[in-house]
Amino acid sequence: MGKAFDFTLILEFIPTLVKYLGITLEILFFSIILGILIGLVAAIPKIFKIPILKQLVTIYISFIRGTPIIIQLFLVYYGLPALFNLFHIDLSRVDALYFVIITYAISNGAIFAEIFRGAILAINSGQTEAAYTIGMTPSQNFRRIIFPQALRIAFPNIGNSVIGSLKDTSLAFTIGVMDMMGRGETLIASTAHALEVYISLSIIYYAIVIIIENIFKVYERYLNRYQPDEISAV
């Protein structure tokens, strides 16, 4: 397939593809922010063992975990317009980008819900009791005592999810979103240099992942500042 390998094309492709990084980061940013909000809300029924809601959240989480993201993407892309059609609302002109963001937000939400639940339950109840005995309310306790510490515990997992999510955005092109991957596909169609395109894409994705990882590491060190020395030194 394709033409003879041409190394110099990579240097040519990278700048072309990077121009579409903005779309990729846009998908990532909004799906993470919305995912965190969904995750916080979805974690509540399980933490406080609220009947019915708890079961619903469990089904949601297990469904997301049990199905490939690309299928979730198609379900949303075809399912949402079908659903809105029932109410005579036409979604056919809505930008495919929004379907991508919605899908990834729902998917991240399920993962974040589990991360948050684990992190919150990991904080010993003694601190909550101490907060109550000095007269703090449950919401003050959550905001000032539990949440900051849960964040530290959840942080490495949040970092992994962000990176995983970045890589998942490369599936957005399947419903016609012109992100880096989408642009790469059109480059292949027009130049027939598939390998050079994919090498260029992998270099860009890899570089972004390294940058994100390092940002997370710096913040993780800050969050660990109050840990016993052997942990905070890592």
Partner 1 sequence: MNKRAIGVKRMIEITNLKKNFGPNEVLKGINLKVNKGDIISIIGPSGSGKTTLLRCLNYLEKPDEGIITIGEVSINARKVHKKDIYTLRKKSAMVFQSYNLFQHKTALQNVMEGLIVVQKKNIKEAQEIATELLRKVGLEHKTKAFPSHLSGGQQQRVGIARALALNPEVILFDEPTSALDPELVGEVLSVIAKIAKEGKTMIIVTHELNFAREISDRIIFMDNGVIVEEGSPKEIFVEQKEERTKQFLKRMVPELDYSI
| One of 86, 134, 218, 233 touching partner 1 (CB under 8 A) | 134
User: Which of 94, 130, 192, 211: binder of partner 1 (CB under 8 A)?
Assistant: 130
Complex with partner 1: residue 30 or 147, whichever CB lies closer = 147
Considering beta carbons, is residue 66 or 126 the nearer one to partner 1? 126
Distance (Å, rounded) from C-alpha 158 to C-alpha 176?
A: 28
Q: Provide the minimum distance between the beta carbon of 77 and partner 1 in the complex, in angstroms, as a whole number.
A: 42
Of 65, 52, 48, 77, the C-alpha closest to 112 is: 65
| Between 90 and 229, CB nearer to partner 1 | 229
146 Cβ contact list (under 8 Å, min separation 6)? 120, 123, 127, 128
Task: Show the site string, 192-231: x = touches partner 1 by CB under 8 A, - = not.
Answer: ---------------------------------xxxxx--
Name the phi and psi angles at 16, rounded to 5.
Answer: -60, -45
Site for partner 1 in 137-156 (CB under 8 A): 137, 140, 144-145, 148-149, 152
Residue among 126, 190, 218, 233 that touches partner 1 (CB under 8 A)? 126
Cα separation, 198 vs 156, in Å, equals 29
For residue 182 the two structure tokens come to 């989408």
What dihedral angle (degrees, nearest 10) is formed by the CA atoms of 206, 212, 217, 223?
-160
Minimal distance, residue 59 CB to partner 1, in Å: 32
* Residue 121 in tokens: 């339950």
Tokens, residue 187: 């480059």
Between 4 and 231, whose beta carbon lies closer to partner 1? 231
CA distance 164 to 109: 13
Cβ-based nearer residue to partner 1, 34 or 145: 145
Which listed range, 37-45, 56-64, 106-114, 124-132, lies at the site for partner 1 (CB under 8 A)?
A: 124-132
> CB neighbours of 156 closer than 8 A, spacing ≥ 6?
216, 220
Residues of the shown chain interacting with partner 1 in the complex, contacts defined by CB under 8 A: 124, 126-127, 129-137, 140, 144-145, 148-149, 152, 225-229
